[in-house]
Amino acid sequence: MSAFLKEWLKIRNMHLFFPVMIGAICLLLLAVIALQRFLKCRKDGTPFIDLKDYHFFKPDYDKLKLWGSLVLFIGYLIALPRLHFVWASVIFIFLFNVLFDKRKGEPFKVRSLIISALISVICTLGVWYLFFRVFNITLP
């Protein structure tokens, strides 16, 4: 085994194991996707990158859900250090559920709001209990 690998696998570097592995897997999958695209374009006789009539978003995309998700995610990152894991997660999981349950032109339904509240509380407390009590890992 090389000296680099021995040093990398020491306990003080173990926190890097999963990020490096996930990054390597993502790069491998990206290479497979690019190869598949290259082979398809070569077979069809089309360019690899074709920006003619290209639109990043479909014309009828749901703006509320896309931009609302981005705002809620940034809000969660800001609220997490202030409210800590349990309260911030309960609030923002509830808000995400409400955002994605909302249908155009329909009012909010009380049953849907109650289910969203239950999901946010049960999931957050379940994750907190699993990490804090079972794995003995404190969450922020």
Output the pTM of the full model. Answer: 0.64
Judge whether 64 and 99 are in contact, CB under 8 Å: yes
Judge whether 99 and 65 are in contact, CB under 8 Å: yes
Rounded Cα gap, residues 31 and 29, in angstroms: 5
Q: Is 105 helix (H, G, I), strand (E, B) or coil?
A: coil
Judge whether 67 and 44 are in contact, CB under 8 Å: no
What's the pLDDT tens digit per position in 70-128?
A: 999 999 999 998 998 899 999 999 999 999 987 777 788 889 899 999 999 999 999 99
Q: What is the DSSP string of 31-98?
A: HHHHHHHHHHHHHHT--SS--TT--SS-TT--HHHHHHHHHHHHHHHHHHHHHHHHHHHHHHHHHHHH
What's the pLDDT tens digit per position in 11-64?
A: 666 667 778 889 999 999 999 999 999 999 999 988 888 878 777 788 888 888
